[in-house]
Structure 1
Amino acid sequence: MHRSKKIVITVLYIIIVAISMGAFFIFQPFSFVDNGKSKIACDNGSSFEIGPNFIYTFTDKIDSFNDAKARKICAYNIIRDYGNAYKTPQSSNYGFKPVYIKNSSWGDAWLILVATFLLGSIFIQGIKRVFFESTKDPLFTEFFKWNFFAVVFIFLGIILFLIVIRKPARHIHCQLQIAQKVVNFRNSAFQGGIIPIPEENAHINSSIKTLYETCIGSL
């Protein structure tokens, strides 16, 4: 193979390594509160699942908006008091009992990394056959041998990932994480076919920026 063709194929493999690492980064596992199963235990002995009663959290704690709803349901056994017909108890009258759910796993993330690399390699093979009229792939063969080529591909792929791919991968991962949390609440609250409530949508939308910044800061 001509030197220029080898360079093109080498660059493509480096890009595939970087993209594969990006896919791994995007699908890394994370845990979050399951609003459908988590509960509040009231001081009066009663308990309620939070999501079905329109109480939710996208972090580890219940915020002030949902704290007021939790206090009211424990005190008055009512939900959706958006007009504040009932006075919010001044002191907390419940305990939060979170149940966590895990999204994906490290095994899944590694599987996606390998699958992405293999699909990318097949794509490169297609390019070679179409443009370079080659059915052999010495570079592909060398990659799977732990030698100089493998070290170079991986090292340069890591550099490309850190410089170019990592930032958009972080963005996508956090967007997926936030969407998963919001869907989890909505599925628990609206499973009975209730029409989404404007007050809830407004609060969720106002929380997304903070959730995104927190997620980005943790990666």
Structure 2
Amino acid sequence: MSDQKQERGFLRDNSLSLVFGALFLLTLALQAWAGWAQENNDLRQAELDTVSLLHYLTTASFGADVLENWQSEYLQFFLFLFGTVWLIQRGSPESKEAGKEGPESDEDQQVGAYVEHDTPTWARVGGWRTRVYSRSLGIVMALIFLASWAGQSIAGWAAYNEEQLRELATPTSYGGYVLSADFWSRTLQNWQSELLAVGSFAVLAIYLRQRGSSQSKPVGAAHSSTGIEG
């Protein structure tokens, strides 16, 4: 009986990450299936042999399609994390209150003389470790963005040259591809959509509500209330 309670507690306490993790895997699988079907359709039209699903998962085309979305998502997180240190949006629950721009005081951040008994070790010890830890989330988001963007550029380059060879055209160098319209078209169409989503959410959350969500203000909160979550 106690094991069942512990299991229910674990699932409930981690339901947000578990549900989104499951949805991620499901949509990745569906993307792979749809991409495989499209790839084989293109191969048939070119009168070439089709490929298996396992083979398709190893292709540059699939890798480029996946990574170009990942890098734009992590760019969004990175920019939003650092942007909200200094920038505010009056009335938005996604913004700090006016007057709190900047890295805030040690008391606000519970470091230095204001550490508590359950303060993480790197936040407690001070020095370079606390400085790194105080920006660790943004640093990791930036590193994931750069890694996925680099992966996208390499996979996209390989996929582009495969297409060139199919059309009996001359392959291009990596540097030539990174400077090409194809690369920047794929990149910027993702960046602009992520920036639009973040900006519109911050503004819409001023006037609209989602009862019970931590990303929304309480239903009865004033439109001018800033940094308040329901």
Asked if these proteins are the same fold (TM beyond 0.5), I'd say no
**Greater RCO, CA 8 A, separation 6+:** 1
Q: Please, what TM-score do these two structures have when normalized by structure 2?
A: 0.28
Q: Please, what TM-score do these two structures have when normalized by structure 1?
A: 0.29
Q: Which has the higher helix share?
A: 2
Point out the structure with max Rg over C-alpha. Answer: 1
Q: Which has the higher strand share?
A: 1
